[in-house]
Amino acid sequence: LFERTGGLHAAALFCALSGELLACFEDIGRHNATDKTLGFGLENGLLPSSAPQILVVSGRASFEIVQKTLRARIGALACVSAPSNLAVEL
C-alpha cells in the first residue's frame, strides 16, 4: 500500500534467530502501526517471548516507541530514521 500512496508507515515483528516475519501492519502513523503489530503479538501469544525478537519501524524512533518495545520485552528495535534525544536516553 505504501508503494501506491507514499503516505503510510509500517511496523514488523521478527524472530531474531530465524528472521521469520511474525507480524506486520501498516497505518498512516508509525505509532499506530507499532500498536497494531504489538497488539497482534499479544493477542496471538507471540509476546512476550523467550526467543529473541526485533521490532522494525518505519520513521524515527521516538521515546514512546522505545518504551513500547521495552514493555513488550522485545530485545531489539530498528528504525529507518534518527532517534529522538529522549529515545536515546531511555
Give the pLDDT confidence score for residue 7 in this predicted structure.
83
Q: How confident is the model at residue 16 (pLDDT cuts 50, 70, 90)?
A: very high
Over 80: is that where the pLDDT of 3 sits? Answer: no
pLDDT (mean) for 31-42: 97
Average pLDDT of the residues in 12-33? 96
Peptide bond before residue 48 is cis, with ω within 30 degrees of 0: yes
Q: Strand 76-81: give its sheet, edge to edge.
A: 21-27, 9-15, 53-60, 76-81
Q: Would you state the pLDDT for residue 6?
A: 77
Q: Mean pLDDT over residues 4-32, rounded? A: 94
Asked if pLDDT for residue 5 goes beyond 90, the answer is no
